[in-house]
């Protein structure tokens, strides 16, 4: 039966060529849309890894001229002490500019056992950073004041980086060459592992991350102060805080932002392009399905004689419409074979650095979607064919 | 002749309404998407307000050091760098030096206001055509005296002062410092990075010292040439000047080349996304844009070709008769392509109406503040070209198929 249908289609390959091309291109478009949807959805399902409510950041661009490192340390210690005196501030930590929900990134690489691992997000953060964001510590510990004197540079890594570096092995206490240290004297020492943090918003992956302790020499370039406030900290407090900070840092321009707001705007800038892309794709697909519907409908009208004959020799209405629907589904199969051949190159060549399973899932969804679309488009023409009366159809000839 | 084709085309369109609907639906939506895209690009790359002298201007935004080892380090330029080097050019008649905007907060009645601040020299007011709702810009004299004066935007006036009628002479506080308002301007969309700010202040009151001799800094420059013809000359002059700028001693260790370019407004965008220090990325932008448009139009085109072929086969008897009476293949091809172009133009008109509606919706939604999209003559021209291109593209293959139809089979078919 199926073999026979193949033959029918093959005999009309020239006529069907355009239809196959069209379904093929639609498949690629749908594959693209589903890949991004699956990608964003899978990221969305992962835990956030931090709490952002009641966490604020003070951005400052300090133009103050410092004479030496000691004066920098002294300057910021005074600010810290001043802020700690405010009862609404629970904890605070200085940080490099790549705090959560900003577009700023800083990446580095590590070479471990001859293997280069990159890109690794590189954060400089303070001792209370984990506490401010309530990050989930999986193993070991976070930084504390004793780390100033440690001979190796202590770092905290996230679960993804642990996975790429050590697999299932032990991470704590491991030493890694420091690519920032030209003399290869100091090594990096892993002191803790934290859960992955989706710091580019709900829909983007966390990537590998390495947290480093802000030291006194970094303070000159620091421009972010993360603070965790109590729930009763309102706009009046914020205004008071602002006056205090701006009053202290006379040479800086100061801005206070809330992480809950920053998260919203980061998510929006991820979602808007994908929504536009999906709407455009949806219109393309409606367009194509109307086209396929029209062409199938017309084809059936042209084959009235053939269908009439089949009915006359005893085929039921159901089997006639079944034949027509199967024909279009087989046609779809041809296109999908070509389509899948191209789509499978994406995971094979590792384009765009996405997990192979994302592509595979998107491929299955796209195949199912196209089959469903063609099935729906041929349903009505098929039923029309079933309604053909042999006497009328054969009479026309 | 053309009148006949037109009559036939309309008759055909009315015969099979469902197919006509499919064709028009596809054409109009495809063109709508392209027209909306064109309107966006037009708006982003051509700052009509306040950059009305855009065609005579060049923009210096980034200062980049590169080394043969492949290291690249890029940032804005300092006030010193721009006045010292770009300021010594002969061609420009004016040069605005404007900082990038930094956000600051003000609190009014316990409500937070975010104010984006820019520091500028006096030439900005001569180069850019800001519309003053009240008051006037600060003067060179006020800048020299480092007066704490500010020009604010309409939005900041509303947020800070409420619906007060006049605010010139009143004080506004940002970063804990009070500035006296000298003027209020109409809002500028944020996407026009060079021109956008909610509060303009004299560069002399900036918190970073403008006398700092580092090359890197927060500033960009807008160079204004006396006429459009001299823009190229101005650019060459700056290029030659940059090759003579000595690399500062503290950079010599790591880097061997300094790049700074005077770009057109369009190129400042393409350089950011498609180019690098050596290449403005204009050609790359055009290449990717055309590739995208071609790919995007592929599916609707194949669809239209498919529908068109189906419709032709329906008309095989008509074609057979015309052929039998001696019409050449060429005539038939012309006829069919004309019909198809009529169809696409019809679709284009519907698309245009849809575009106007969509742009109204986008403007009304406030998705992008102060962003007023519109269809201008250039966008219309592009759309018309796209229509013709689309019509030809989807008409040629079916017409060729039709013209090859055998007379006998064509007549027998029905």
A61/B309 touch (CB, cutoff 8 Å), yes or no? no
B234-258: average pLDDT: 89
B28 and B151 together in one domain = no
* Range from A31-40, A68-77, B364-373 carrying the lowest mean pLDDT: B364-373
pLDDT recorded at residue B395 = 82
Task: Give chain B's count of helices (H) and strands (E).
Answer: 14, 13
- Beta-strand runs (E) in B175-256: 177-185, 199-202, 216-217, 219-224
pLDDT band for position B191 (cuts 50, 70, 90): confident
Q: Is B114 on the interface with A (CB under 8 A)?
A: yes
Residue B193 scores a pLDDT above 70: yes
- Percentage above 70 pLDDT, chain B: 99
A348-358: average pLDDT: 84
Task: Give chain A's count of helices (H) and strands (E).
Answer: 12, 11
pLDDT recorded at residue B381 = 82
Contact present, B350 and B23 (Cβ < 8 Å): no
Measured N-to-C along each axis, helices A356-386 and A259-302 cross at an angle, to the nearest 10 degrees, of: 30
Q: What is the pTM of this model?
A: 0.84
pLDDT band for position B369 (cuts 50, 70, 90): confident
A63/B209 touch (CB, cutoff 8 Å), yes or no? yes
- Chain A residue with minimal CA distance to B305? A18
pLDDT recorded at residue A396 = 58
Top pLDDT among A394 and B128 is at B128
ipTM for this model: 0.79
Contacts of B19 in chain A (CB under 8 A): 294
Contacts of A58 in chain B (CB under 8 A): none
B298 and B228 together in one domain = no
User: Using one digit for the tens of pLDDT, what is the confidence trace for A120-133?
Assistant: 999 999 999 999 99
What gap in Å lies between CA A26 and CA A366, rounded to an integer?
Answer: 9
User: Using one digit for the tens of pLDDT, what is the confidence trace for A137-169?
Assistant: 999 999 998 888 888 889 999 999 999 999 888
For residue B90, tell me if it sits in a domain.
yes
A52-66: average pLDDT: 89
B42 and B76 together in one domain = no
Chain B nearest-CA distance from A26, in A, is: 7
Cα Rg, chain B, nearest whole Å: 29
B347 and B287 together in one domain = yes
Residue-number span of the structural domain to which B350 is assigned:
2-46+283-412
Domain boundaries, chain A: 2-45+266-396, 64-250
Residue B383 scores a pLDDT above 80: no
- Chain A residue with minimal CA distance to B297? A284
B206 and B89 together in one domain = yes
| Coarse DSSP helix, strand, coil percentages of chain B, rounded to the nearest 5 percent | 55, 20, 30
Residue A346 scores a pLDDT above 60: yes
B123 and B160 together in one domain = yes
pLDDT band for position B240 (cuts 50, 70, 90): very high
B95 and B202 together in one domain = yes
pLDDT band for position B325 (cuts 50, 70, 90): confident
B119 and B256 together in one domain = yes
Residues contacting residue B259 through CB under 8 Å, at least 6 positions apart: B62, B63, B64, B65, B66, B242, B277, B278
pLDDT band for position A1 (cuts 50, 70, 90): low
Q: How many CA atoms lie within 13 A of B277 on its CB side?
A: 18
For residue B356, tell me if it sits in a domain.
yes
User: Using one digit for the tens of pLDDT, what is the confidence trace for A78-99?
Assistant: 999 999 999 999 999 999 999 9
For residue B273, tell me if it sits in a domain.
no
The 10 Å CB-count burial string (b at 16+, else e) for B152-189 is bbbbbbebbbeeeeebeeeebbbbbbebebbbbbebbb
- Beta-strand runs (E) in chain A: 55-62, 89-95, 107-112, 115-125, 137-140, 153-158, 175-177, 187-194, 208-213, 224-229, 252-258
Residue A180 scores a pLDDT above 70: no
When divided into structural domains, chain B yields a total of 2
B13 and B91 together in one domain = no
A18/B302 touch (CB, cutoff 8 Å), yes or no? yes
Beta-bridge partner residues of B95: B223
For residue B278, tell me if it sits in a domain.
no
* Range from A325-329, B18-22, B54-58, B377-381 carrying the lowest mean pLDDT: B377-381
B320 and B403 together in one domain = yes
Q: Where are the alpha helices (DSSP H) in B68-219?
A: 79-84, 124-127, 140-144, 154-161
A291/B26 touch (CB, cutoff 8 Å), yes or no? yes
Closest CA to B86 of B47, B65, B57: B57
Structural domain ending residue among the three candidates B262, B292, B320: B262
Residue A218 scores a pLDDT above 80: yes
Structural domain ending residue among the three candidates B229, B262, B295: B262
Contact present, B169 and B184 (Cβ < 8 Å): no
Residues contacting residue B265 through CB under 8 Å, at least 6 positions apart: B45, B46, B47, B51, B54, B57, B59, B194
B228 and B176 together in one domain = yes
B259-273: average pLDDT: 88
Residue A185 scores a pLDDT above 90: no
What gap in Å lies between CA B342 and CA B6, rounded to an integer?
Answer: 8
What gap in Å lies between CA A270 and CA A273, rounded to an integer?
Answer: 7
pLDDT recorded at residue A360 = 93
Chain A nearest-CA distance from B117, in A, is: 9
On average, the pLDDT of chain A sits at 88
What gap in Å lies between CA A113 and CA A136, rounded to an integer?
Answer: 28
What gap in Å lies between CA B358 and CA A157, rounded to an integer?
Answer: 48
What gap in Å lies between CA B189 and CA B177, rounded to an integer?
Answer: 26
CB–CB contacts below 8 A, A to B: 99
Measured N-to-C along each axis, helices A69-84 and A235-248 cross at an angle, to the nearest 10 degrees, of: 160
For residue B108, tell me if it sits in a domain.
yes
Q: Is B348 on the interface with A (CB under 8 A)?
A: no
Cα separations in angstroms, B230 against B57, B91, B244: 10, 8, 22
For residue B305, tell me if it sits in a domain.
yes
Q: Which of residues 285-304 of B touch A (CB under 8 A)?
A: 296, 298-300, 302-304
What gap in Å lies between CA B249 and CA B254, rounded to an integer?
Answer: 10
B319 and B227 together in one domain = no
For residue B248, tell me if it sits in a domain.
yes
- Percentage above 70 pLDDT, chain A: 97
User: Using one digit for the tens of pLDDT, what is the confidence trace for A263-279?
Assistant: 998 998 889 888 888 98
Q: Is B35 on the interface with A (CB under 8 A)?
A: no
What gap in Å lies between CA A58 and CA A97, rounded to an integer?
Answer: 11
Contact present, A366 and A28 (Cβ < 8 Å): no
B27-55: average pLDDT: 86
What gap in Å lies between CA A238 and CA A54, rounded to an integer?
Answer: 12
For residue B233, tell me if it sits in a domain.
yes
pLDDT recorded at residue A184 = 62
Q: How many CA atoms lie within 13 A of A60 on its CB side?
A: 25
């Amino acid at each position: 039966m199926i073999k026979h249908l193949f033959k029918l289609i093959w005999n009309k390959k020239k006529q069907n060529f355009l239809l196959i091309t069209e379904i093929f291109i639609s498949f690629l478009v749908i594959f693209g849309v589903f890949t991004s949807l699956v990608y964003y959805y899978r990221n969305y399902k992962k835990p956030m890894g931090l709490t952002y409510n009641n966490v604020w950041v003070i951005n400052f661009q300090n133009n103050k001229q410092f004479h030496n490192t000691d004066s920098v340390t002294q300057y910021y210690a005074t600010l810290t002490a001043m802020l700690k005196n405010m009862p609404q501030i629970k904890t605070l930590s200085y940080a490099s500019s790549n705090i959560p929900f900003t577009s700023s990134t800083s990446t580095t690489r590590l070479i471990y056992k001859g293997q280069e691992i990159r890109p690794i997000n590189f954060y400089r953060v303070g001792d209370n950073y984990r506490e401010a964001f309530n990050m989930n510590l999986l193993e070991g510990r976070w930084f504390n004041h004793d780390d100033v004197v440690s001979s190796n540079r202590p770092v905290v890594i996230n679960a993804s980086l642990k996975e790429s570096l050590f697999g299932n092995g032990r991470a704590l206490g491991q030493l890694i060459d420091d690519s920032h240290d030209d003399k290869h004297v100091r090594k990096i020492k892993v002191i803790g592992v934290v859960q992955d943090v989706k710091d580019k918003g709900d829909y983007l992956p966390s990537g590998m991350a390495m947290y480093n302790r802000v030291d006194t020499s970094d303070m000159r370039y620091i421009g972010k102060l993360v603070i965790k406030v109590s729930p009763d900290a309102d706009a009046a407090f914020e205004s008071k805080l602002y006056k205090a900070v701006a009053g202290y840092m006379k040479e800086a321009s100061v801005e206070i932002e809330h992480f809950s707001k920053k998260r919203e705007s980061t998510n929006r800038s991820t979602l808007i392009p994908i929504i536009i892309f999906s709407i455009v794709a949806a219109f393309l697909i409606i367009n194509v399905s109307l086209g396929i519907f029209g062409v199938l409908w017309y084809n059936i009208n042209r084959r009235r004689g053939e269908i009439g004959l089949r009915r006359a020799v005893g085929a039921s209405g159901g089997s006639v419409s079944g034949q027509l629907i199967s024909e279009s589904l087989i046609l779809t199969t041809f296109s999908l074979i070509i389509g899948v051949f191209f789509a499978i190159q994406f995971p094979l060549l590792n384009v765009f650095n996405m997990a192979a399973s994302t592509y595979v899932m998107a491929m299955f969804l796209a195949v199912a979607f196209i089959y469903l679309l063609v099935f729906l488009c041929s349903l009505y023409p098929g039923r029309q064919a079933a309604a053909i009366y042999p006497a009328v159809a054969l009479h026309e000839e | 002749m053309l009148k006949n084709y037109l009559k036939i085309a309309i008759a055909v369109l009315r015969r099979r309404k469902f197919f006509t609907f499919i064709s028009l639906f596809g054409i109009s939506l495809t063109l709508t998407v392209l027209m909306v895209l064109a309107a966006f690009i037009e708006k982003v790359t051509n700052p009509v307000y306040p950059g009305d002298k855009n065609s005579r201007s060049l923009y210096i935004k980034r200062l980049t050091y590169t080394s043969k080892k492949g290291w690249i380090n890029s940032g804005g330029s300092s006030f010193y760098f721009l006045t010292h080097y770009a300021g010594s050019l002969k061609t420009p008649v004016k040069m605005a030096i404007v900082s990038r905007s930094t956000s600051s907060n003000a609190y009014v009645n316990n409500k937070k206001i975010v104010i984006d601040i820019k520091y500028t020299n006096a030439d900005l007011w001569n180069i850019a055509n800001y519309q003053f709702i009240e008051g006037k810009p600060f003067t060179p004299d006020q800048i020299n005296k480092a007066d704490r004066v500010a020009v604010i935007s309409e939005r900041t006036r509303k947020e800070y002062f409420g619906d007060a009628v006049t605010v010139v002479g009143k004080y506004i506080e940002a970063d804990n410092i009070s500035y006296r308002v000298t003027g209020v301007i109409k809002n500028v969309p944020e996407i026009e990075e060079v021109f956008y700010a909610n509060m303009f202040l004299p560069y002399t009151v900036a918190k970073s010292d403008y006398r700092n001799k580092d090359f890197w800094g927060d500033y960009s420059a807008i160079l204004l040439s006396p006429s459009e013809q001299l823009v190229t000359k101005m650019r060459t002059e700056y290029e030659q000047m940059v090759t003579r700028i000595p690399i500062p001693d503290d950079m010599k260790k790591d880097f061997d080349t300094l790049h700074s370019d005077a770009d057109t407004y369009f190129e400042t965008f393409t350089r950011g996304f498609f180019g690098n220090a050596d290449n403005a990325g204009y050609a790359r932008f055009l290449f990717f844009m055309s590739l995208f448009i071609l790919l995007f139009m592929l599916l609707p085109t194949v669809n239209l070709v498919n529908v068109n072929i189906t419709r032709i086969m329906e008309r095989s008897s008509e074609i057979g008769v015309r052929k039998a009476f001696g019409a050449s293949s060429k005539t038939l091809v012309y006829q069919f392509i004309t019909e198809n172009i009529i169809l696409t133009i019809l679709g284009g008109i519907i698309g245009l109406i849809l575009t106007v509606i969509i742009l109204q919706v986008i403007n009304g939604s406030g998705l992008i503040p102060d962003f007023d999209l519109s269809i201008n003559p250039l966008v219309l021209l592009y759309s018309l070209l796209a229509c013709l291109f689309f019509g030809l593209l989807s008409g040629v293959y079916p017409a060729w198929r039709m013209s090859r139809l055998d007379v006998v089979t064509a007549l027998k078919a029905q």
